[in-house]
Chain A
């Protein structure tokens, strides 16, 4: 019974932790610009991250190897270095964007300069990481992140146009570059690489074994599946409330308005709280992902479970990552714009980290009986193709739409 409770709590944390600033930005802007037309892109991203995370989790549980261990081992040093540098670069952009998001939300609660909140936010995150055990961190951010369901409630409360929703389940091949840019963005925001680096390293931190494979699968299917509902909720609510009024949610504050429009003050506060914790949690995950990548690639001791003195270089790595993220923010770049770049560039780097995992997950020498089954095999390869197509189209579309400016 206790085990079931533990599993459920973990999945609940995964649901609350699904959304980050990339999902917030792209889903609301997609809804505001195209109404229900892009609904079909959300499940594609959600299934994608489910497949990818399940494979990474399975590999970590069976072989005790997190993603960058696999990458170094499979691709060797030279190619591994290229993958590492590319990953660190996009990870860093993501960390900066997430810290920026935290600062923006704090500004909506209290009145103070952006840079002060960026600094305070980063320091608060560092303190939480420092003094809280690994599981506690995930639970904290994940549970409060669940208040984002207020947006799902808004979507349902406002009565979705189910006819339009249905039409939005089918892609429109003749659409504009902006439409396809959002498709890229939506899929990419769901498939952010830092999520799997963090997830697989977490699996090793928590000492997963093959007996945890069921939990892994449940996380992937239920955790991300229901988490995907949050993204849909954001898009539909935006479609209902922003699109008719021609409002462009360029600012996170506008997103929080969705809660207020239906549920007044309570809705606003719940929305903001959810955003704060979801984005804050993502900042932690992305920052750790960077530190995990470097430490695992180089062979250093790593892990929150080792305590700072037990893994000094790893600890320095994530501290430096936060500092670098802050530095990027101090250049005055708009966090929402930074988010769009981090999301779109992340998908370009994605094939490099997806492919080695796919190769290992199908390799019986390493996986034994837990090698990819028929579903994982088909979907694994299918998504590799999807990811390649998305990665190839990302930069051209980014340029063609002038960074999503239309």
Chain B
């Protein structure tokens, strides 16, 4: 990883990929965390459609929340602590598996019905 980089240019909206190379969402927002009296540090990535509304121009936020849902952690938004990030390059690679981090749950839930079909 680089010494310095810009969050929007290099991190935000990038594809997140787990240790097995599976795509599991995009960086939809970034959390900066400051300990009391301390500087703001890169704390976590947020992924999920519940993170869309705050990214949209203010006037359209209510509409966005209706369309994409509110920020409900664990459901519409998942938090990936910065410590889970292995590398930021073409994609954001994680140390762990999507499953263990609660990511791409919809894909996992739909996996079984498709597996049962011929050619699935």
Contact = CB atoms under 8 A, between A and B. Distances in A.
Q: Do A and B contact each other directly (Cβ–Cβ < 8 Å)? A: yes
A307 B90 CA distance: 24
B25 interface: yes
B95 to A, nearest CB: 18
B118 to A, nearest CB: 8
A313 B13 contact: no
Interface stretch (B15-23, B36-44, B69-77, B80-88): B15-23
Contacts of A308: 114, 117, 119-120
A170 interface: no
Interface string B2-33: 00000010001111100000111110100000
Please report whether the interface of chain B is mostly helix, strand, loop or mixed according to DSSP. mixed
B115 interface: yes
Given A301-B107, A315-B114, A76 B120 contact: no
A130 interface: yes
B110 interface: yes
A299 B113 CA distance: 21
Contacts of A307: 120
Given A77-B52, A307-B120, A309-B115, A72 B106 contact: no
Nearest to B22: A301
B104 interface: yes
A361 to B, nearest CB: 16
B62 interface: no
B24 A301 contact: yes
- The number of chain A residues touching the other chain, given as a range, is 20 to 34
Contacts of A392: none
A108 B30 CA distance: 57
Interface in B90-120: 90, 104, 106-107, 110-115, 117, 119-120
A73 interface: yes
B25 A299 contact: yes
Interface string A281-318: 00000000000000000111110000111111101100
Contacts of B114: 308-309, 312, 315
B107 A77 contact: no
B110 A312 contact: yes
Contacts of B16: 299
B106 A313 contact: yes
Interface residues on B, range: 20 to 34
B120 A72 contact: no
A302 B107 CA distance: 10
Nearest to B115: A309
B56 A312 contact: no
A309 B13 CA distance: 25
A311 B107 contact: yes
Identify the interface centre among B28, B112, B117, B119: most chain A CB within 10 Å of its CB.
B119
B14 A73 contact: yes
Query: Of A80, A298, A299, A316, which is in contact with the most chain B CB atoms at under 10 Å from its CB?
Result: A299
B119 A130 contact: yes
B8 A300 contact: no
Contacts of B15: 69, 299
Contacts of B56: 77-78, 81
A65 interface: yes
Contacts of B119: 130-131, 308
Contacts of A299: 15-16, 23-26, 47
Contact of A77 (B28, B110, B112, B117): B28
Contact of B111 (A63, A130, A312): A312
A94 B7 CA distance: 37
A362 interface: no
A313 B107 contact: yes
Interface of B: 8, 12-16, 22-26, 28, 47, 49, 52, 55-57, 60, 90, 104, 106-107, 110-115, 117, 119-120
The 8 A-B pairs with the shortest beta carbon distances in the complex, nearest first, are A312-B110, A299-B26, A309-B114, A309-B115, A299-B25, A77-B55, A301-B23, A308-B120
Given A72-B26, A77-B28, A308-B119, 17 more contacts: A63-B90, A76-B13, A76-B55, A77-B13, A77-B52, A80-B13, A81-B56, A298-B26, A299-B25, A299-B47, A300-B107, A301-B22, A307-B120, A311-B107, A312-B106, A313-B106, A313-B107
